[in-house]
Protein backbone atom coordinates (compact mmCIF):
# COMPACT_ATOMS: atom_id res chain seq x y z
CA UNK A 1 0.00 0.00 0.00
CA UNK A 2 1.31 3.47 -0.89
CA UNK A 3 1.74 6.20 1.72
CA UNK A 4 3.63 9.48 2.00
CA UNK A 5 6.63 9.99 4.28
CA UNK A 6 6.43 13.67 5.31
CA UNK A 7 9.32 16.00 6.08
CA UNK A 8 9.94 19.76 6.19
CA UNK A 9 12.81 21.48 4.38
CA UNK A 10 13.82 25.07 3.77
CA UNK A 11 14.83 24.59 0.12
CA UNK A 12 14.22 21.96 -2.54
CA UNK A 13 15.74 21.58 -5.99
CA UNK A 14 13.56 21.79 -9.08
CA UNK A 15 14.66 18.27 -10.09
CA UNK A 16 13.67 16.87 -6.69
CA UNK A 17 10.23 18.51 -6.95
CA UNK A 18 9.71 17.01 -10.40
CA UNK A 19 10.82 13.51 -9.31
CA UNK A 20 8.63 13.55 -6.19
CA UNK A 21 5.57 14.68 -8.14
CA UNK A 22 6.26 12.20 -10.98
CA UNK A 23 6.26 9.39 -8.39
CA UNK A 24 2.96 10.49 -6.85
CA UNK A 25 4.35 12.52 -3.95
CA UNK A 26 3.49 16.05 -2.88
CA UNK A 27 5.42 19.28 -2.35
CA UNK A 28 3.61 22.08 -0.52
CA UNK A 29 5.17 25.54 -0.21
CA UNK A 30 4.15 26.98 3.15
CA UNK A 31 4.32 30.77 2.76
CA UNK A 32 6.07 33.01 5.23
CA UNK A 33 4.08 35.01 7.78
CA UNK A 34 5.53 37.81 9.93
CA UNK A 35 8.96 36.62 11.17
CA UNK A 36 8.53 32.98 10.10
CA UNK A 37 10.42 32.06 6.89
CA UNK A 38 8.73 29.96 4.19
CA UNK A 39 9.35 26.20 4.18
CA UNK A 40 8.38 23.23 2.04
CA UNK A 41 6.38 20.27 3.30
CA UNK A 42 7.47 17.25 1.26
CA UNK A 43 5.52 13.99 1.01
CA UNK A 44 7.83 11.31 -0.44
CA UNK A 45 5.91 8.30 -1.77
CA UNK A 46 6.80 4.96 -0.20
CA UNK A 47 5.43 1.50 0.48
CA UNK A 48 3.55 1.06 3.77
CA UNK A 49 4.35 -2.20 5.61
CA UNK A 50 2.81 -1.75 9.04
CA UNK A 51 1.74 0.98 11.45
CA UNK A 52 5.32 2.17 12.08
CA UNK A 53 7.14 0.72 9.10
CA UNK A 54 7.70 1.74 5.49
CA UNK A 55 10.52 1.34 2.97
CA UNK A 56 12.09 4.79 3.43
CA UNK A 57 15.77 4.34 4.31
CA UNK A 58 17.57 7.29 5.97
CA UNK A 59 21.31 7.21 6.69
CA UNK A 60 23.89 9.82 7.54
CA UNK A 61 24.96 12.41 10.06
CA UNK A 62 25.89 15.82 8.62
CA UNK A 63 24.07 15.03 5.41
CA UNK A 64 21.23 12.52 5.23
CA UNK A 65 20.80 10.14 2.33
CA UNK A 66 17.20 9.14 1.75
CA UNK A 67 16.31 6.22 -0.50
CA UNK A 68 12.97 4.66 -1.34
CA UNK A 69 13.58 1.38 -3.19
CA UNK A 70 9.92 0.83 -4.14
CA UNK A 71 9.90 4.07 -6.16
CA UNK A 72 13.58 4.20 -7.17
CA UNK A 73 14.05 7.52 -5.36
CA UNK A 74 17.35 8.80 -3.92
CA UNK A 75 17.76 12.18 -2.23
CA UNK A 76 20.22 14.02 -0.04
CA UNK A 77 19.20 16.38 2.75
CA UNK A 78 21.98 18.84 3.48
CA UNK A 79 22.61 22.07 5.35
CA UNK A 80 23.87 25.53 4.46
CA UNK A 81 25.88 25.56 7.69
CA UNK A 82 29.41 24.37 8.43
CA UNK A 83 29.05 20.63 8.84
CA UNK A 84 32.08 19.18 10.62
CA UNK A 85 30.32 17.88 13.73
CA UNK A 86 26.79 19.19 13.39
CA UNK A 87 24.03 16.59 13.04
CA UNK A 88 21.48 17.66 10.43
CA UNK A 89 18.71 17.54 13.06
CA UNK A 90 20.48 20.40 14.91
CA UNK A 91 20.03 22.72 11.92
CA UNK A 92 16.99 24.96 11.59
CA UNK A 93 14.62 23.88 8.82
CA UNK A 94 15.21 27.10 6.88
CA UNK A 95 18.90 26.17 6.46
CA UNK A 96 18.22 22.70 4.99
CA UNK A 97 17.77 21.63 1.40
CA UNK A 98 16.56 18.49 -0.38
CA UNK A 99 18.02 17.49 -3.75
CA UNK A 100 18.46 14.41 -5.91
CA UNK A 101 21.42 12.32 -4.80
CA UNK A 102 23.53 13.42 -7.79
CA UNK A 103 22.84 17.15 -7.31
CA UNK A 104 24.59 19.70 -5.13
CA UNK A 105 22.10 21.77 -3.12
CA UNK A 106 24.51 24.21 -1.45
CA UNK A 107 27.93 25.25 -2.69
pLDDT of residue 85: 61
pLDDT of residue 87: 66
pLDDT of residue 55: 87
pLDDT of residue 80: 76
pLDDT of residue 60: 85
- Output the pTM of the full model: 0.85
Q: Which residues of the chain are modeled with pLDDT < 50? A: none
pLDDT of residue 78: 87
List C-alpha distances in Å: 1 to 37, 46, 53, 62.
Answer: 34, 8, 12, 32
DSSP for the chain reads -EEEEEEEESEE-HHHHHHHHHTT-EEEEE--BTTBPPEEEEEEEEEEEETTEES-EEEESSSEEEEEGGGTEEEEEEESS--SS--GGGS-GGGEEEEETTS-S--
Amino acid sequence: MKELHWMAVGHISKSAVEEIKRSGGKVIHVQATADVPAIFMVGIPCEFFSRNSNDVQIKGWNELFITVPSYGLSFSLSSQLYKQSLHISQVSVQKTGLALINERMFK
